Structure 1
Amino acid sequence: MLYDFLGVYGKVGQSSRNDDDVFDRYSHRWTVVLLTIFTIAISAKQFVGEPIECIPPPDFSGTHKTYVENFCWIHYTYSIEDNTALTRDFVRGANGSRKTPYYIWIPYILIVAALCTYLPAWLWHIIGHRATIDIPAMINQVAKTNLTNTEERKTMLLILAKHYEKAQRYTKSKVHITDNLLKQCMSACMFFAGGGVLTGIYFFTKILYLINAIAQFFLINYYLQIDYWSYGQKVLHGILTGRDWLENKVIFPRIVYCDFTIRSLGDNNLNYTVQCALPVNLYNERIFAFYWFWLIFLSIVTFYGILIWFGHMSYHGRRSFLKKHLRINLELELTDNNKHLFNGFVNRHLGGDGILFLRLIAKNTNPVVAGELVEIMWQRYVKPVDKIEVISSKENLVDADVYLNGRHNSKND
């Protein structure tokens, strides 16, 4: 079971996903890996090591000491200021003492944070890939192709272009009215990016990444009952001034107190208050300090990535992307004769989904492959299909669906 658990998280860090960009990977890959490492470290200290050490009453033996530590661990403890006298007024978390029941739940809080971070990637994988084009399947074919072999590369790109055209025809076909309305509304919201259901889902996924990064502050603030918004600032101030990270140890106290009662027959109950050390909080305060700075970095990077994609998918960004590749691969300069064709190619044939598809291919393979695919798609758009010059030998051509499903056999087999 442990091997399977580690195997799942091992796949998260691999670079086998070809349906996103580096900004998304900071969230669904590296943040999840980081939280997994934190969870394993804290769990090892809690379930294997000794997370709490208590000073038992003088008349307690060794087994009683174990009982006291187990009791204080599974029940809440409380902390007070170092310069405050411990009196009965502080017993059981009253009159200024602060309960600390959270530390036993920290591994589970980190697991929830990891699941929330991976949720947008899961939604993109489940919904996005089934909206119009299965981008990973198409990009994986590019990765499997011998790009140094001109014939094989051209054949593969022609198949991708034909598959894209077929996917677009299915998208435009009549389906349920409610389905059409939903897709039309989503496409209309992407008016700035050329429209498209796939584009809408992709931007929605990126916004979810940003919401998740900011919501993590609320999650930790709520469950730990601390002012996590200013936690990193206090840590940074302590480092810059040469003091301890958190001088008063209120957030993650290292010295706590625990109350318990030994019940005997009748009403003869003995109440005890013991002092305990929480070595696990040495890990907790550093983990959550580092994670505070990581969440700040993640929020900034994710927001910057959204702005970058706004620029990529803008009116100017879409046209300049295609013009650059057409100019390089076909030495095509737009004149009055072909401006009309170019506008139809950008707006009607490709739209937002087509540009998104080409840009993801460029980001996950290389710009040369994306440029050659743009060239083939342009040639198929400006010329009738039956007059297109065949780029590779006919005997090597296979059906697009057969190729993408991994059953690539030539006719001579």
Structure 2
Amino acid sequence: MFDVFGSVKGLLKIDAVCIDNNIFRLHYKVTVVILVAFSLLVTSRQYIGDPIDCIVDEIPLNIMDTYCWIYSTFTIPNRLTGKVGHDMVQPGVVSHVDNKDDVKYHKYYQWVCFTLFFQAMLFYIPRYLWKTWEGGRIKMLVLDLNCPIVNQDCKADRKRLIVDYFSTNLHMQNFYAFRFFICEVLNFINVVGQIFFMDFFLDGEFSTYGSDVLKFTEMEPEEREDPMARVFPKVTKCIFHKYGPSGSVQKFDGLCVLPLNIVNEKIYVFLWFWFVILSILSGISLIYRFAVVFGPKLRLYLLRARSRLTPQICIEAIGRKCQIGDWFILYQLGKNIDPLIYKEVLVDIAQRLDGKTQV
């Protein structure tokens, strides 16, 4: 098991310089690791065994397994409740009449590992865009100022570079900030869109899957219909046709065991809750971002909270001169520079922007 998850642990390494925020990292770090790990897990036969095993008379088992894996299996959705061994073989596995009983075909299991990996790539796209657009700007400005112990001459030179850069590019950083905000919007669109994508992938079952599982645990045993058995059946049916000795078509009705669905049902329960939580957090993050864009007083408060050591008069002097892009650069620097050095940088910037400011 550690081999599976160990192969993706490199994605969780902490970056030396932070260029985003915690909600952003939940998308491109935590969610990507979860999806890639699940994709690897469903392809690991040493933990699950064969993905499908079918039983039928007169047909070689390996041929039946391959045939049913390729052409899908099915269950009878209106026969999910009842007594196993008396009313039915397994939930949804009963005798049926063609063209009269509803039949639900299950084909998704061929594509689970691919769709999970594809989803992981989609979650990484906003990060890739932002990293490309950002171009290492914050890293170049921070240099070694994220360390509390820095040579005085080196510190003075690097502080001066930041102050010169900031004053030279004053009011020219808005496009830089809005590109980050665009990536945050893309994160929200992506996670909501993927909920609909998985709902389509599972034939409309995913949108209510997690809530149905919760309701199932609270119902009486004789009344409840297991949503996991409906969406991810462990035993299904498969019809194999071949020509008999006289040239007539013979039909063989087989049972198929899907060990892979024991893992799939738990993967998608977890993903349902994770995607719902991530959507809510991303939505709250967007509300916060709109408030920041249209609230100068909020930006001033956040800058003050980021640098509590900086005198109030300096924060106000910076707030009078800065636009949204300038504030964003300073806020990002505050995440990466040592607090004492950050205070000195803000004081120097305030004095440069407002020569009358005295500290």
For the 8 Å contact 2:188–2:279, the answer to whether it is kept is: yes
In 1, Cα distance between equivalents of 2:97 and 2:341? 75
Residue 101 (structure 1) aligned with residue 101 (structure 2): no
One of 268, 275, 287 as aligned partner of 1:307: 287
Secondary structure of 2:195's counterpart equals: helix
**Residues 304 and 363 of structure 1, relative CA distance in 2, 3 Å threshold:** farther
Note the C-alpha offset of 1:212: 1.3
1:317 corresponds to: 298
One of 346, 352, 364 as aligned partner of 2:319: 346
Secondary structure of 1:256's counterpart equals: strand
**Residues 230 and 373 of structure 1, relative CA distance in 2, 3 Å threshold:** same
For the 8 Å contact 1:79–1:256, the answer to whether it is kept is: yes
1:147 corresponds to: 149
Secondary structure of 1:275's counterpart equals: strand
Residue 219 (structure 1) aligned with residue 197 (structure 2): yes
Secondary structure of 2:310's counterpart equals: helix
**Residues 31 and 302 of structure 1, relative CA distance in 2, 3 Å threshold:** same
CA RMSD of aligned residues (A): 3.3
Note the C-alpha offset of 1:291: 0.5
In 2, Cα distance between equivalents of 1:256 and 1:108? 22
In 2, Cα distance between equivalents of 1:246 and 1:10? 34
Secondary structure of 1:29's counterpart equals: helix
Residue 13 (structure 1) aligned with residue 27 (structure 2): no
For the 8 Å contact 2:36–2:117, the answer to whether it is kept is: yes
The TM-score, its normalising length taken from structure 2, stands at 0.81
In 1, Cα distance between equivalents of 2:247 and 2:46? 35
In 2, Cα distance between equivalents of 1:325 and 1:292? 35
Q: How does 1:369-380 map to 2 (within 5 A)?
A: 369-380=341-352
For the 8 Å contact 2:212–2:227, the answer to whether it is kept is: no
2:83 corresponds to: none
In 2, Cα distance between equivalents of 1:356 and 1:278? 52
Residue 116 (structure 1) aligned with residue 131 (structure 2): no
Q: Which amino acid aligns with 2:319?
A: V
In 2, Cα distance between equivalents of 1:352 and 1:290? 38
Residue 285 (structure 1) aligned with residue 285 (structure 2): no
Secondary structure of 2:145's counterpart equals: helix
The TM-score, its normalising length taken from structure 1, stands at 0.71
In 1, Cα distance between equivalents of 2:120 and 2:137? 26
Note the C-alpha offset of 1:353: 1.2
**Residues 46 and 302 of structure 1, relative CA distance in 2, 3 Å threshold:** farther
Residue 86 (structure 1) aligned with residue 95 (structure 2): yes
Note the C-alpha offset of 1:153: 3.3
One of 233, 246, 253 as aligned partner of 2:211: 233
2:137 corresponds to: 134
Q: How does 1:322-401 map to 2 (within 5 A)?
A: 322=303, 328-330=309-311, 332=313, 342=317, 345-346=318-319, 348=321, 350-365=322-337, 367-383=339-355
In 2, Cα distance between equivalents of 1:213 and 1:76? 29
Note the C-alpha offset of 1:268: 3.7
For the 8 Å contact 1:117–1:212, the answer to whether it is kept is: yes
1:262 corresponds to: 242
For the 8 Å contact 1:322–1:374, the answer to whether it is kept is: no
Q: Which amino acid aligns with 1:97?
A: V
**Residues 369 and 240 of structure 1, relative CA distance in 2, 3 Å threshold:** farther
Note the C-alpha offset of 1:213: 1.5
1:65 corresponds to: 61
In 2, Cα distance between equivalents of 1:113 and 1:333? 46
**Residues 98 and 326 of structure 1, relative CA distance in 2, 3 Å threshold:** closer
For the 8 Å contact 2:167–2:352, the answer to whether it is kept is: no
Unpaired segments ≥5 residues, structure 1: 173-194, 385-413
For the 8 Å contact 1:325–1:374, the answer to whether it is kept is: no
2:274 corresponds to: 294
In 1, Cα distance between equivalents of 2:48 and 2:211? 33
Residue 253 (structure 1) aligned with residue 233 (structure 2): yes
User: Percent identity over the alignment?
Assistant: 21
Structure 1, residues 196-233: CA drift from partner, whole Å, max 9, x if none?
11221121111111111111110001122132111110
Structure 1, residues 58-87: CA drift from partner, whole Å, max 9, x if none?
x34xxx111111111122111112457413
One of 171, 177, 180 as aligned partner of 1:199: 177
2:34 corresponds to: 34
Secondary structure of 1:199's counterpart equals: helix
2:91 corresponds to: none
1:156 corresponds to: 158
For the 8 Å contact 2:199–2:207, the answer to whether it is kept is: yes
For the 8 Å contact 2:108–2:201, the answer to whether it is kept is: yes
In 2, Cα distance between equivalents of 1:359 and 1:221? 39
Secondary structure of 1:87's counterpart equals: coil
Structure 1, residues 229-272: CA drift from partner, whole Å, max 9, x if none?
11110111223448689257211111111112224687343221
In 2, Cα distance between equivalents of 1:326 and 1:362? 7
Note the C-alpha offset of 1:97: 0.8
